[in-house]
Amino acid sequence: MERRKFLKAGALGVATTALASPAVAQGKRQWKMVTAWPKNLPGPGVAAQNLADRIGTLSGGRIEVKLYAAGEIVPGRGVFDAVSEGTAEMYHAVPAYWGSKSKGILLFGSQPFGLRADEQFGWLYHGGGQALYDEMYGRFGIKPFLCGNSGPQWGGWFRNDINSAEDLKGLKFRTTGLASEMATKLGMAAEAMSGPAMFQALQTGALDAGEFIGPWTDSALGYYQVAKNYYWPGVGEPSSAEECGVNGDVYNELPDDLKQAVSFACESLYNPVWTEYTTKHALSLKKLVEEHGVMVKMFPEDVIKAMGKAAGEVIDELRQDDDELVKRITESFVAYRDSVGGYMTYADNGQMNARAGIMGY
């Protein structure tokens, strides 16, 4: 797919007037979904449209959701505030974008050396995470739902080789969420920007490196054209949850069956979104290497160790946060990670390591 298809939305002017309250006519509600993505961007842009369509289907057409790409009503990073303030009824984005609201929010999306996609869903649904998620977002008048996951993200696109942790120091690096705090502790200059903006910054040299999602989405944005070194593992984001946020007043006024329709639309998309990323990342990586000359490289061991040390410092700071809710979220996350992570040593990790040893049969 060509890059330009996903850049038009980002160039659109932002509307300057607030939109009207949601229409309810003949039992139908018209909702606006604002997103953090260009329309139909492989991965999150596609997932957002699927969610809008699924809410319409599961509600029997009683909720009609119209999707607005980043920049059509508000900038991508403005969707949280737009829903909180009632400019739109819902958004599709990732928790990693809302650290300025509260550091505790960042744990619901991705965490350096943290939870895999299935573990993230498990924490919220079986480990007490959803109640904390609701409590935190409730401060801003938003009802949150997880509705997808990218799976393991990549370490990033680098213009030059990384041979040691020393090579990271001073690099201008695009990342988000808690991964940006980890990067800062490694001596990098962490930059927050959209995926399309990252391409331009790599192209001009304003960035030395950056990570966005993974091979499928990254291919569509053309990063391979301006940086050929593609590093793994993406320990900064072992998974990255996508979320839907619904204006709390709008959600609360729904009858119970429509609340269930919205909730199930989000829940039922989590695995399809995650497995689509996994499937298409694998196909896209092969194409990046064979057709575009991308060089796939593993971070040296001392880099991974340095990242682990920095990540530990980030979590320690969250545990000492002045906000009691942030502390509770952090302790809940750590307890779940350690419990399930210990089990995975014998279960999934053991099986995957064994399978890797006999690939090709």
Backbone angles phi, psi at 144, to 5 degrees: -100, 150
Confidence of residue 20 (pLDDT cuts 50, 70, 90): very low
Helix or strand (DSSP H, E) at 93 = strand 90-93
Instruction: Tell which residue, 37, 11, 33, has the closest CA to residue 220.
Output: 37
- 131-140 burial, b at 16+ Cβ within 10 Å, e below that, comes to ebbeebbeeb
Residue 153 labelled as part of a binding site: yes
- Reading the block at residue 234, the tokens are 């993406």
Name the class of domain 8-152+238-279: alpha beta
Q: Kindly list the domain boundaries of the chain, sorted by start residue.
A: 8-152+238-279
Instruction: Tell which residue, 29, 133, 10, has the closest CA to residue 68.
Output: 10
What per-residue confidence (pLDDT) applies to 26? 67
Contact 274, 148 (CB under 8 A): yes
Residue 267 labelled as part of a binding site: no
Query: What integer is the mean pLDDT of 91-100?
Result: 97
- CA-CA distances (angstroms) from residue 19 to 28, 37, 73, 142, 302? 18, 20, 9, 18, 52
Out of 25-34, 167-176, 329-338, least confident range: 25-34
Residue 174 labelled as part of a binding site: yes
Q: What is the CA radius of gyration of the chain?
A: 20
Residue 30 labelled as part of a binding site: no
The model carries a pTM of 0.91
Confidence of residue 64 (pLDDT cuts 50, 70, 90): very high
- CA-CA distances (angstroms) from residue 286 to 10, 216, 276, 297, 301? 29, 10, 16, 14, 25
Residue 328 labelled as part of a binding site: no
Helix or strand (DSSP H, E) at 165 = none
pLDDT tens-digit readout, 151-181 = 999 999 999 999 999 999 999 999 999 999 9
